[in-house]
Amino acid sequence: MKNTVLTILFLFICTTLSAQTNDSLITIGKRYSVYSKILNEKRTYAVYLPPSYRTNPNKKYFVAYVLDGGRNKFLEVTGIAQSMNSIPDIKMQIPELIIVSIENTDRTRDFTPTHSLNYLDAENIAAFNSSGGAKAFTQFIGKELMPRINSSYRTQSKNLIIGHSLGGLFAINCLLESPELFNYYILIDPSWFWDHNYVGRRTREILKTKPDLKGRVFIALANNMQEDNRHYKWGQEFYELLKNSTSSNVDVKLRYFEDEKHLTVPVPATYYGLRYIFDGFELDINEVCKNPDLINKHDMEMSKKMGVEIKSDEGFVNTLGYIALHDRNIPDVAVAIFEINTKNYPSSVNVWDSLADAYLVKGLRGKAKSCYEKILSLQPDNIDAKTNLQKLHN
Could you tell me how many residues make up the chain? 394
pLDDT of residue 162: 98
At residue 173, what are phi and psi to the nearest 5 degrees? -60, -35
Mean residue pLDDT of the chain comes to 91
Of 100, 49, 7, 56, the C-alpha closest to 311 is 56
Convert the pLDDT of each residue in 312-341 to its tens digit.
Answer: 999 999 999 999 999 999 999 999 999 999
pLDDT of residue 1: 41
373 SS3 class: helix
How would residue 14 be classed by pLDDT, with cut points 50, 70 and 90?
very low
Choose the CATH number for 30-277 among 3.40.50.1820, 3.40.640.10, 2.40.110.10, 3.40.50.300: 3.40.50.1820
How would residue 278 be classed by pLDDT, with cut points 50, 70 and 90?
very high
In degrees to the nearest 10, what's the CA dihedral of 181, 310, 60, 19?
A: 100
β-pairing verdict for 155-164 and 184-188: parallel
Write down the domain spans for the chain.
30-277, 285-393
pTM over 0.85: yes
Measured between alpha carbons, how far is 90 from 84 in angstroms, rounded to an integer?
10
Convert the pLDDT of each residue in 119-162 to its tens digit.
Answer: 988 898 999 999 999 999 999 999 999 999 999 999 999 999 99
Of 273, 285, 184, 193, the C-alpha closest to 237 is 193
Share of the chain above pLDDT 90, in %: 81
In the chain, DSSP assigns E strands to: 30-36, 41-48, 61-66, 85-86, 91-92, 97-102, 155-164, 184-188, 215-222, 250-257
285-393: same fold as 30-277?
no
| Fold classified for 285-393 | 1.25.40
How would residue 216 be classed by pLDDT, with cut points 50, 70 and 90?
very high
